[in-house]
Amino acid sequence: MAGRLAGKVAIITGAGSSGPGWGNGKATAVLFAREGASVFAVDVNGTAAAETCAIIAGEGGIAAAHTTDVSSHDQVRAMVATCLERFGRIDILHNNVGIAVVGGAVDLPEEEWDRVERVNQKSVFLVCKHVLPVMERQGGGAIVNTASIAGIRWTGIDYISYYATKGAVGMMTKGIALAYAAKGIRCNAILPGLMDTPMIRHGLPDAYAGGDIDQMIEKRHRQCPMGRMGDAWDVANAALFLASDDARYITAHELVVDGGLTARCA
Protein backbone atom coordinates (compact mmCIF):
# COMPACT_ATOMS: atom_id res chain seq x y z
CA MET A 1 0.00 0.00 0.00
CA ALA A 2 1.32 3.43 -0.91
CA GLY A 3 2.39 5.64 1.94
CA ARG A 4 0.83 8.95 2.85
CA LEU A 5 3.67 10.86 1.17
CA ALA A 6 4.09 8.68 -1.89
CA GLY A 7 5.53 10.62 -4.81
CA LYS A 8 6.33 13.68 -2.69
CA VAL A 9 9.70 15.41 -2.32
CA ALA A 10 10.48 16.72 1.15
CA ILE A 11 13.23 19.05 2.32
CA ILE A 12 13.99 18.52 6.00
CA THR A 13 16.41 20.90 7.68
CA GLY A 14 18.16 19.73 10.81
CA ALA A 15 17.81 16.19 9.48
CA GLY A 16 20.86 14.95 11.33
CA SER A 17 21.12 14.53 15.08
CA SER A 18 23.21 16.50 17.56
CA GLY A 19 24.29 13.31 19.29
CA PRO A 20 23.61 9.57 19.55
CA GLY A 21 19.96 8.61 19.30
CA TRP A 22 16.98 10.13 17.54
CA GLY A 23 16.60 13.86 17.11
CA ASN A 24 13.35 15.32 15.78
CA GLY A 25 14.67 15.92 12.27
CA LYS A 26 16.34 12.52 11.98
CA ALA A 27 13.17 10.69 13.05
CA THR A 28 11.02 12.81 10.74
CA ALA A 29 13.29 12.19 7.75
CA VAL A 30 13.15 8.42 8.30
CA LEU A 31 9.38 8.45 8.85
CA PHE A 32 8.74 10.56 5.75
CA ALA A 33 10.81 8.14 3.68
CA ARG A 34 8.90 5.18 5.12
CA GLU A 35 5.72 6.93 3.96
CA GLY A 36 7.02 7.19 0.41
CA ALA A 37 8.68 10.60 0.23
CA SER A 38 12.00 11.29 -1.42
CA VAL A 39 13.91 13.11 1.31
CA PHE A 40 16.43 15.89 0.85
CA ALA A 41 18.15 15.72 4.24
CA VAL A 42 19.84 18.99 5.17
CA ASP A 43 22.12 19.62 8.13
CA VAL A 44 25.04 21.86 9.01
CA ASN A 45 26.78 18.61 10.01
CA GLY A 46 27.22 16.71 6.77
CA THR A 47 28.16 13.50 8.56
CA ALA A 48 24.95 13.57 10.58
CA ALA A 49 22.86 14.13 7.44
CA ALA A 50 24.65 11.25 5.72
CA GLU A 51 23.93 8.97 8.68
CA THR A 52 20.23 9.72 8.38
CA CYS A 53 20.31 9.01 4.65
CA ALA A 54 22.13 5.72 5.27
CA ILE A 55 19.28 4.60 7.53
CA ILE A 56 16.74 5.54 4.85
CA ALA A 57 18.70 3.77 2.12
CA GLY A 58 19.05 0.71 4.33
CA GLU A 59 15.26 0.54 4.54
CA GLY A 60 14.88 0.87 0.78
CA GLY A 61 13.95 4.54 0.78
CA ILE A 62 15.22 7.46 -1.29
CA ALA A 63 17.25 10.27 0.26
CA ALA A 64 20.06 12.68 -0.51
CA ALA A 65 22.20 14.45 2.08
CA HIS A 66 23.19 18.08 1.78
CA THR A 67 25.39 20.20 4.05
CA THR A 68 24.02 23.71 4.59
CA ASP A 69 24.13 26.48 7.14
CA VAL A 70 20.49 27.51 6.82
CA SER A 71 21.21 30.90 8.37
CA SER A 72 23.20 31.79 5.22
CA HIS A 73 21.23 33.27 2.32
CA ASP A 74 23.67 32.05 -0.33
CA GLN A 75 23.86 28.54 1.08
CA VAL A 76 20.07 28.26 1.31
CA ARG A 77 19.65 29.42 -2.28
CA ALA A 78 22.18 26.81 -3.42
CA MET A 79 20.48 24.16 -1.28
CA VAL A 80 17.10 24.71 -2.92
CA ALA A 81 18.66 24.70 -6.38
CA THR A 82 20.44 21.43 -5.62
CA CYS A 83 17.23 19.81 -4.40
CA LEU A 84 15.47 20.84 -7.60
CA GLU A 85 18.34 19.48 -9.70
CA ARG A 86 18.19 16.17 -7.83
CA PHE A 87 14.44 15.65 -7.49
CA GLY A 88 12.75 18.18 -9.80
CA ARG A 89 10.25 19.58 -7.32
CA ILE A 90 9.60 20.42 -3.65
CA ASP A 91 6.28 19.37 -2.14
CA ILE A 92 7.08 19.52 1.57
CA LEU A 93 9.35 21.73 3.65
CA HIS A 94 10.05 20.90 7.27
CA ASN A 95 12.01 23.67 9.02
CA ASN A 96 13.46 21.90 12.02
CA VAL A 97 16.75 23.50 13.08
CA GLY A 98 17.03 24.96 16.55
CA ILE A 99 19.37 25.62 19.45
CA ALA A 100 18.82 26.67 23.06
CA VAL A 101 21.22 28.87 25.01
CA VAL A 102 20.59 29.55 28.68
CA GLY A 103 20.65 33.23 29.61
CA GLY A 104 18.32 36.07 30.57
CA ALA A 105 17.85 39.62 29.33
CA VAL A 106 20.78 40.97 31.34
CA ASP A 107 23.36 38.19 31.38
CA LEU A 108 22.99 36.76 27.87
CA PRO A 109 25.82 38.06 25.64
CA GLU A 110 24.65 39.94 22.57
CA GLU A 111 26.55 37.60 20.26
CA GLU A 112 24.68 34.63 21.73
CA TRP A 113 21.35 36.38 21.16
CA ASP A 114 22.35 36.96 17.54
CA ARG A 115 23.45 33.33 17.09
CA VAL A 116 20.17 31.91 18.41
CA GLU A 117 18.18 34.36 16.27
CA ARG A 118 20.08 33.31 13.14
CA VAL A 119 19.64 29.59 13.74
CA ASN A 120 16.09 29.50 15.11
CA GLN A 121 14.37 32.38 13.34
CA LYS A 122 16.30 33.70 10.36
CA SER A 123 16.72 30.17 9.00
CA VAL A 124 12.94 29.70 8.74
CA PHE A 125 12.62 33.01 6.92
CA LEU A 126 15.42 32.23 4.47
CA VAL A 127 14.34 28.69 3.59
CA CYS A 128 10.71 29.76 3.14
CA LYS A 129 11.90 32.72 1.04
CA HIS A 130 13.45 30.35 -1.50
CA VAL A 131 11.01 27.43 -1.30
CA LEU A 132 7.73 29.36 -1.47
CA PRO A 133 8.21 30.50 -5.10
CA VAL A 134 8.85 26.87 -6.08
CA MET A 135 5.67 25.68 -4.38
CA GLU A 136 3.71 28.55 -5.90
CA ARG A 137 4.85 27.58 -9.40
CA GLN A 138 3.86 23.98 -8.70
CA GLY A 139 0.41 25.01 -7.47
CA GLY A 140 0.78 23.97 -3.83
CA GLY A 141 2.83 22.54 -1.02
CA ALA A 142 3.03 22.00 2.72
CA ILE A 143 5.35 23.70 5.19
CA VAL A 144 5.81 22.45 8.74
CA ASN A 145 7.86 24.58 11.13
CA THR A 146 9.20 23.36 14.46
CA ALA A 147 8.47 25.98 17.11
CA SER A 148 8.12 25.14 20.83
CA ILE A 149 5.81 25.55 23.79
CA ALA A 150 8.55 27.98 24.89
CA GLY A 151 7.09 30.31 22.27
CA ILE A 152 3.80 30.52 24.15
CA ARG A 153 4.67 30.07 27.83
CA TRP A 154 7.42 30.23 30.46
CA THR A 155 9.01 26.80 30.88
CA GLY A 156 11.00 27.44 34.03
CA ILE A 157 14.31 27.90 32.23
CA ASP A 158 15.82 31.35 31.74
CA TYR A 159 16.60 31.31 28.03
CA ILE A 160 15.11 34.49 26.70
CA SER A 161 16.51 34.08 23.18
CA TYR A 162 14.77 30.71 22.84
CA TYR A 163 11.42 32.12 23.99
CA ALA A 164 11.70 35.06 21.59
CA THR A 165 12.75 33.11 18.52
CA LYS A 166 10.30 30.25 18.97
CA GLY A 167 7.49 32.73 19.49
CA ALA A 168 8.54 34.41 16.26
CA VAL A 169 8.39 31.10 14.40
CA GLY A 170 4.77 30.74 15.47
CA MET A 171 3.83 34.15 14.09
CA MET A 172 5.83 33.64 10.89
CA THR A 173 3.88 30.42 10.41
CA LYS A 174 0.55 32.25 10.63
CA GLY A 175 1.70 35.06 8.36
CA ILE A 176 2.92 32.70 5.66
CA ALA A 177 -0.17 30.51 5.97
CA LEU A 178 -2.58 33.36 5.37
CA ALA A 179 -0.53 34.97 2.63
CA TYR A 180 -0.37 31.74 0.64
CA ALA A 181 -3.62 29.94 1.56
CA ALA A 182 -5.31 30.86 -1.72
CA LYS A 183 -2.29 29.52 -3.61
CA GLY A 184 -2.61 25.99 -2.28
CA ILE A 185 0.27 26.25 0.17
CA ARG A 186 -0.36 25.24 3.77
CA CYS A 187 1.90 26.32 6.63
CA ASN A 188 1.65 24.94 10.16
CA ALA A 189 3.85 24.63 13.22
CA ILE A 190 4.59 21.95 15.78
CA LEU A 191 5.11 23.07 19.37
CA PRO A 192 6.98 20.29 21.18
CA GLY A 193 6.98 20.26 24.96
CA LEU A 194 9.62 18.56 27.07
CA MET A 195 11.17 16.00 24.74
CA ASP A 196 13.88 13.42 25.32
CA THR A 197 16.23 14.03 22.40
CA PRO A 198 20.01 14.42 22.05
CA MET A 199 19.62 18.22 21.95
CA ILE A 200 18.72 18.50 25.65
CA ARG A 201 21.99 16.86 26.65
CA HIS A 202 23.96 19.77 25.20
CA GLY A 203 23.61 22.93 27.27
CA LEU A 204 20.51 22.26 29.38
CA PRO A 205 21.91 20.08 32.20
CA ASP A 206 23.51 23.12 33.86
CA ALA A 207 20.12 24.83 33.95
CA TYR A 208 18.45 21.89 35.65
CA ALA A 209 20.82 19.89 37.78
CA GLY A 210 24.24 21.44 37.94
CA GLY A 211 25.44 19.39 35.00
CA ASP A 212 23.98 16.03 36.09
CA ILE A 213 22.26 14.67 32.97
CA ASP A 214 20.48 11.83 34.79
CA GLN A 215 18.98 14.24 37.31
CA MET A 216 17.92 16.55 34.51
CA ILE A 217 16.17 13.72 32.68
CA GLU A 218 14.38 12.61 35.86
CA LYS A 219 13.26 16.15 36.69
CA ARG A 220 11.92 16.70 33.18
CA HIS A 221 9.99 13.43 33.35
CA ARG A 222 8.41 14.53 36.64
CA GLN A 223 7.34 17.87 35.13
CA CYS A 224 5.17 16.15 32.53
CA PRO A 225 1.52 15.33 33.38
CA MET A 226 1.93 11.93 31.70
CA GLY A 227 4.96 11.20 33.86
CA ARG A 228 7.41 11.08 31.00
CA MET A 229 8.83 13.26 28.28
CA GLY A 230 7.90 12.72 24.67
CA ASP A 231 10.47 11.71 22.10
CA ALA A 232 11.46 12.46 18.53
CA TRP A 233 8.89 10.05 17.11
CA ASP A 234 6.07 12.00 18.73
CA VAL A 235 7.25 15.08 16.84
CA ALA A 236 7.82 13.09 13.66
CA ASN A 237 4.28 11.71 13.68
CA ALA A 238 2.87 15.20 14.15
CA ALA A 239 4.99 16.44 11.23
CA LEU A 240 3.80 13.56 9.07
CA PHE A 241 0.16 14.41 9.75
CA LEU A 242 0.61 18.11 8.99
CA ALA A 243 2.63 17.42 5.84
CA SER A 244 0.19 14.85 4.48
CA ASP A 245 -3.12 15.27 2.69
CA ASP A 246 -4.82 14.12 5.91
CA ALA A 247 -4.32 17.75 7.00
CA ARG A 248 -5.39 19.25 3.67
CA TYR A 249 -7.78 21.73 5.34
CA ILE A 250 -5.47 22.69 8.19
CA THR A 251 -3.27 25.77 7.92
CA ALA A 252 -2.02 28.52 10.27
CA HIS A 253 -2.26 26.00 13.10
CA GLU A 254 0.10 25.45 16.02
CA LEU A 255 -0.06 21.79 17.01
CA VAL A 256 1.05 21.38 20.62
CA VAL A 257 2.80 18.06 21.29
CA ASP A 258 3.49 18.20 25.02
CA GLY A 259 1.62 15.47 26.90
CA GLY A 260 -0.71 18.06 28.42
CA LEU A 261 2.00 20.28 29.91
CA THR A 262 0.71 23.65 28.68
CA ALA A 263 -2.83 22.85 29.86
CA ARG A 264 -1.65 22.68 33.47
CA CYS A 265 -1.64 25.73 35.76
CA ALA A 266 1.40 24.68 37.77
Say how far apart CA 163 and CA 152 lie, in whole Å: 8
Whole-model pTM?
A: 0.95
Total domain count for the chain?
1
pLDDT of residue 206: 67
Say how far apart CA 171 and CA 124 lie, in whole Å: 11
Say how far apart CA 116 and CA 222 lie, in whole Å: 28
Q: Domain range holding 167?
A: 9-99+109-192+233-256
For residue 62, tell me if it sits in a domain.
yes
- 162 is annotated as an active-site residue: yes
For residue 55, tell me if it sits in a domain.
yes
> How confident is the model over 165-207, as pLDDT tens digits?
999 999 999 999 999 999 999 999 999 999 998 888 776 666 6
Q: Which residue, 120, 91, 96, is CA-closest to 235?
A: 96
> How confident is the model over 26-51, as pLDDT tens digits?
999 999 999 999 999 999 999 999 99
Say how far apart CA 168 and CA 149 lie, in whole Å: 12
Q: Is the pLDDT of residue 107 over 70?
A: yes
Catalytic residue among 162, 163, 180, 208: 162
Amino acid at 246: D
Domain CATH number, residue 177: 3.40.50.720
Q: Which residue, 57, 45, 56, is CA-closest to 17?
A: 45
For residue 213, tell me if it sits in a domain.
no
For residue 218, tell me if it sits in a domain.
no
pLDDT of residue 203: 61
pLDDT of residue 198: 85
Mean pLDDT of 134-142: 98
Q: Is the pLDDT of residue 142 over 90?
A: yes
For residue 1, tell me if it sits in a domain.
no
Say how far apart CA 195 and CA 187 lie, in whole Å: 23
DSSP state of 16: S
For residue 241, tell me if it sits in a domain.
yes
pLDDT of residue 1: 53
For residue 61, tell me if it sits in a domain.
yes
